Amino acid sequence: MIKIGIVGGTGYTGVELLRILARHPQAQLAAVTSRAEAGMPVADLFPSLRGSIDIVFSDPASAGLERCDLVFFATPNGVAMNQAPALLEAGVKVVDLSADFRLKDIGEWEKWYKQKHAAPEWVAQAVYGLPEVHRERIRSSQLVANPGCYPTAVQLGFLPLLEAGVVDAEHLIADAKSGVSGAGRKAEVNILFAEASDNFSAYGVPGHRHWPEIRQGLAGVAGKPVGLTFVPHLTPMIRGIHATLYARISREADFQKLFEDRYRNESFVDVLPPGRHPDTRSVRASNLCRIAVHRPQGGDTLVVLSVIDNLTKGAAGQAVQNMNLLFGLPETLGLDHVPVVP
């Protein structure tokens, strides 16, 4: 059994992680930390976990995280970079669901996250946890930087095209929409029910923190810098991401076959038949990414549709997928549940 600690178990990503681990046959939950909720049974805060999780929240200072085999950080940006190094030095494996170790350029990270990085020496050692690209490196790593939700959907959608070199990498467009749970479990006016319901809006158009992460990943695949316009939107739904991706064709190919061949052996990427349109409900509460590729009017622009659940493949599910790789387990273990409909 893998002895697991979770730092930050009170948010949406934290409870999603708990939901998945509660049914994972190799997971032994040792600690879930929260200063504010220390001493409270986890199931009192999240009644959905009654009968599945019987642990209480503990204070981080007395949680004994250094005795765990693996610690997940489901925390705001800036927490893991301060707390993870001591655990790593003690030999604990870490999967960080925040952005603290995703960007390799420290200056770029500090520019976008508006703070000084506390553990730059660990950034170089962290492996970016997109299994469909870095599977073998993840297996032998100690620190995994779990990708963001938008970056997961966008990178998986563009990946086959950039690997094959069949599109103009200098002019990529990602038009992406997310449910309000992507903003986290917090009280902010723009995500109140009366504000977000029956409404639709773009945000972060001048610049979004996920833009450099997506660009870094795509450049690694393409083998050169890429040009990317990324526009996120807030949609009146709880969970899910829909990314509509545009790329100009630079070389002819059988694009449907290209996607099918690339993802044929990927358990969590489903390429739909020609002409289909994936929707967010088809992946809700699952670790799946569903993709469809279109060529409108037979023109020179490809449109790729990529959908994920932002809390699962976009966060907690992918984190458990990385856990399975770290410990030599089947990658699908604990993650083979089907999507929830309606």
Residue range 105-125, pLDDT digits in tens: 999 999 999 999 999 999 999
Averaged over 200-204, what is the pLDDT?
A: 96
Indicate the average pLDDT of the chain.
97
pLDDT tens, position by position, 139-165? 999 999 999 999 999 999 999 999 999
pLDDT tens, position by position, 263-284? 999 999 999 999 999 999 999 9
pLDDT tens, position by position, 128-139? 999 999 999 999
| CA–CA dist 210, 124 (Å, integer) | 19
Residue 61: pLDDT above 90?
no
Domain topology for 2-125: Rossmann fold (3.40.50)
pLDDT at 187: 82
Q: In the chain, list all ranges with CATH 3.40.50.720.
A: 2-125
pLDDT tens, position by position, 162-192? 999 999 999 999 999 999 999 999 888 988 8
Answer yes or no: 68 catalytic. no
Q: Is the pTM of this model over 0.95?
A: yes
| CA–CA dist 268, 255 (Å, integer) | 20
pLDDT band at 330 (very low <50, low <70, confident <90, very high): very high
Picking from 167-181, 187-201, 216-230, 248-262, which range would have the lowest pLDDT averaged per residue? 187-201
pLDDT band at 313 (very low <50, low <70, confident <90, very high): very high
pLDDT at 263: 98
CATH 3.30.360.10 for the 150-310 domain, yes or no: yes
pLDDT at 286: 98
CB-based burial of residue 129 (10 Å sphere; 0-12 exposed, 13-18 middle, 19+ buried)? Answer: buried
> Out of 149, 214, 289, 316, which one is annotated catalytic?
149
| CA–CA dist 156, 210 (Å, integer) | 14
Q: In the chain, list all ranges with CATH 3.30.360.10.
A: 150-310
| CA–CA dist 281, 284 (Å, integer) | 5
pLDDT at 97: 98
| CA–CA dist 72, 78 (Å, integer) | 14
